Structure 1
Amino acid sequence: MGYHVSMMADSTSRWAEALREISGRLAEMPADSGYPAYLGARLASFYERAGRARCLGNPPRQGSVSIIGAVSPPGGDFSDPVTSATLSIVQVFWGLDKKLAQRKHFPSVNWLISYSRYLRALEPHYERLHPEFPALRSRAREILQEEEELAEIVQLVGKASLAEADKVTLEVAKLLKDDFLQQNGYSSYDRFCPFYKTVGMLQNMVTFYELARHAVEAAAPGEHRVTWATIRESLGDILYKLSAMKFKDPVKDGEANITAAFAQLNEEMQAAFRNLED
């Protein structure tokens, strides 16, 4: 019929458990964890329904089917047969995190376990529009990964014992999580984010991180050493503007105004850190 259809499957894990019970009643040869040996083929036949199709008619129309399948691994074990078979078929995995949802962080997608295998396929698109985006994305992921490792140290010995560069990592990671990754779907400014706004926000946050790290690492130890406390006190207005970037409304403000405001903030950051180091 030429429609665009989205299918939500919640959850394929329960469907696979039912398949295991039926297979057992039929006395079929069990495979891993009692699931039938054809589990992967059955999952593939479901997910491979997704795609574009040219529908016959006058005139002919293009239709598409997209599938979002939810797997619920027992105890969060992503090595169970259903999850393993699913990950071998699909190319994008969103890891939903219960702890993020409990903290009212939405969308509650865990940025460390989620992944996409379409990155290389999208490189020509990024090169045409924003060639700096892949490097920014990788740097932001590194910051979040470092913050995850530092969080364990903080729980043991406290934040005060960390090096100043590590304190910068913690604070910028918090900025990324609260003001970049977290979205309010009921707001006019945050319910969707065009690509230029995504790149502009990420560029300013990563630039602030690089400048802050350089400031605390390059300063000689002594009375006038630059610390995170110094940066927070001297550049409080910059930190506020970084947090307020998400409030730019793509519809009301427009691409030109938002891009210009982000570029001006970047220049202000550069000048503020030069003055701080001087």
Structure 2
Amino acid sequence: VLGVVPETPAVEHRILTPIGVRGTVSEIREGDYTVEDIVAEVRTPEGEEKPVTLMQRWPVRVPRPYKARLPSVEPLITGQRVIDSFFPVAKGGTAAIPGGFGTGKTVTLHQLAKWSDADIIIYVGCGERGNEMADVITHFPSLEDPRTGKTLIERSLFIANVSNLPVSAREASIYMGITIAEYYRDQGYDVAVMADSTSRWAEALRDISGRLEEIPAEGGYPAYLAERIAEFYERSGRVVTLGSGQRIGSVTIMGAVSPPGGDFSEPVTSITLRFVGTLWALDTELAFRRHFPAINWLMSFSRYTDLLSEYWSKYDPEWSYFRERALSLLEEASKIEETARIVGEKALPDEQRLVLLFSEIVREGFLVQHAYHEVDTFCEPEKQAAMLRFMVEFYDMVEPLIRGRVPADKIREMPSLVEVMRLKERRGVEWVNKVREMVEGDVRRLAEQYGLAF
């Protein structure tokens, strides 16, 4: 790093020596310059003077080199409970968001761009509708960044390539975004890239391939589609950058995929799933029920859970256990719901009705998140861990009542249940303890009413 320029009040732009230039700095200048002016000179071992400008030129299809690759051990905190607690992505990791029309891919990416704790946000609108990009660009300047207190747009970059632009520009826009991300990564920043959507990029590859008269593969896409998708996602990572010192930066890639008709078996989606570490599968049925983010907990996955468990153990040493327990109960509830559709919930045994009640509490009180609510739009990691533990412990508290022949309807009628569902709207962790005391009081009263030991 030769010097710094305050790019915005929130971002310090670090002037890097061009890649491949070695030697000693023979001259460095201070003042006001344009990006093409020479600000420094480097004398190479051969005695040649190499000029350095404020900007660098780099072919966008070639990954920028780095010194060493590091394991991804820190999560990208997004403030979205279903993502951070159930299907986290690591800094330097990759994630895909496939979903049919109207399931909320763009809105989910907007939320991630607003609240993720990356230093730099790069949003690539690749082949999207012009009104969506206009909404982002007009909306972001009015949002306050919770990390810096400045406006959010001061650490954001937008590459707008809307659907009426040439396909060659659409194909290049994805590479442009990832190369800019690598440039800021080399400065020591954590960068998050939102690509919306990679399906439009793949369609551009298909159009260009057709005009070049190449032999098509499945769906008319070129035979090298898997290679191109792999090359794109492989440019993510947490690395030690080139140069002196130990600068560590990361690039996290989150790509939206738009499968026609929500068919996840189509080529772009099926190939993408082979190369990403996290899948946030959007469900049309959940979206139609106004459940947002409409991430299906049965179809989604994260390969970073074990790597990130050490981070989450700072907030709750048993986080992994409660996460797995909640997911297993949700999976069990989905099987019970199939039976309930046939015979009705009232015909089910109370043990199964309790599982359905737990599923309802987790869905409505934990997974559903209101993007426009002052508190619920962002949930801190410590509050997420406390809420997850409490909801699983709620199930463990009331299960002995069911075994003691207390009807499930009595548990559903507990006054404290309303506060459990509204916990997400309360600020801070202390409310979790208050609601826990309310639940324990209700459970004690039910136990005394039915002559059970508590």
Question: Normalising to structure 1: TM-score of the pair?
Answer: 0.81
* Separation in 2, partners of 1:41, 1:276: 66
Aligned match of 2:393: 207
- Give the alignment partner of residue 342 of structure 2, picking from 153, 156, 160: 156
What is the one-letter code of the residue matched to 1:176? V
1:237 equivalent among 410, 415, 434 = 415
Aligned-partner SS, 2:252: strand
Distance 1:237 1:147, change over 3 A: same
Counterpart position of 1:222: none
DSSP 3-state at the match of 1:110: coil
Deviations along 1:174-228, one digit per CA (max 9) or x if unpaired, are 1111111111232232122122211222222212222333322x33xxxxx3210
Residues in 1 aligned to 2:249 and 2:387: alpha-carbon distance in whole angstroms? 35
Pairing 1:271–2:451 present: no
Higher helix fraction (1 or 2):
1
Asked whether the equivalents of residues 193 and 251 of structure 2 are also in contact (C-alpha less than 8 Å), the reply is yes
User: 1:60 deviation in Å?
Assistant: 9.7
Change in Cα spacing, 1:32 to 1:68, as seen in structure 2 (3 Å) is same
Post-superposition Cα deviations, 1:2-32, rounded to whole Å, max 9, x if no partner, equal 4654433222123223323432443434333
Query: What does residue 268 of structure 2 align with?
Result: 82
Greater RCO structure (CA 8 Å; 6+ sep): 2
Q: How big is the shift at 1:111?
A: 1.8
Match of 2:290, SS state, is: coil
Kept after mapping to 2: 8 A contact 1:54/1:60: yes
1:70-89 per-position Cα deviation (integer Å, ceiling 9, x unaligned): 11223322222211221111
Report the AA paired with residue 231 of structure 1: I
- Residues 162/108 of structure 1: CA separation in 2 closer, same or farther (3 Å cut): same
Contact kept in structure 2, 1:112 and 1:145, CA below 8 Å: yes
Alpha-carbon spacing, 1:259–1:151, altered in 2? closer, same or farther (3 Å)? closer
Distance 2:314 2:343 in 1: 47
Per the alignment, residue 122 of structure 1 pairs with 308
Structure 2 unmatched ranges of 5 or more: 1-13, 15-186
Distance 2:311 2:194 in 1: 28
Q: Give distance in 1, aligned partners of 2:449 and 2:392.
A: 18
**Distance (whole Å) between structure 2 residues aligned to residue 97 and residue 58 of structure 1:** 47
Equivalent in 227, 232, 252 of residue 407 of structure 2? 227
- Alignment partner, residue 49 of structure 1: 235
Question: Alpha-carbon deviation of 1:149?
Answer: 1.8
From 316, 320, 329, the counterpart of 1:134: 320
1:44 maps to amino acid: A
Match of 1:185? 371
Q: Does residue 194 in structure 1 map to residue 367 in structure 2? A: no
Q: How many residues matched?
A: 265
Instruction: Write the distance in 2 (CA, Å) between the matches of 1:88 and 1:55.
Output: 27
Tell me the equivalent position of 2:129.
none
Aligned partner of residue 111 in structure 1, secondary structure: coil
TM-score under structure 2 length normalisation: 0.52
Shift of 1:161: 1.4
Contact 2:315 2:385 in 1 (8 A): no
Question: Which amino acid is 2:424 matched to?
Answer: K
Q: Does the 8 A contact of 2:419 with 2:435 survive in 1?
A: no
Conserved 8 A contact 2:233-2:276? yes
Measured after TM superposition, the shift of residue 272 of structure 1 is 4.5
Q: Deviations over 1:28-85 (max 9, x none)?
A: 3433344322111211222233345677899997654433211122332222221122
Larger Rg: 2
Q: Give SS of 1:231's match.
A: helix
Residue 96 of structure 1, CA deviation: 1.8
Q: 1:119 to 1:277 in 2, by over 3 A?
A: farther
- RMSD across aligned C-alpha pairs, in angstroms? 2.8
Match of 2:58 in 1: none
Task: Please state whether the residue corresponding to 1:96 is helix, strand or coil.
Answer: coil
CA gap of 1:70–1:137, structure 2 versus 1, over 3 A, is same
Which amino acid is the alignment partner of residue 301 of structure 2?
Answer: Y
Measure the CA separation in 2 of the matches of 1:25 and 1:78: 27
Helix, strand or coil for the counterpart of 1:189? Answer: coil
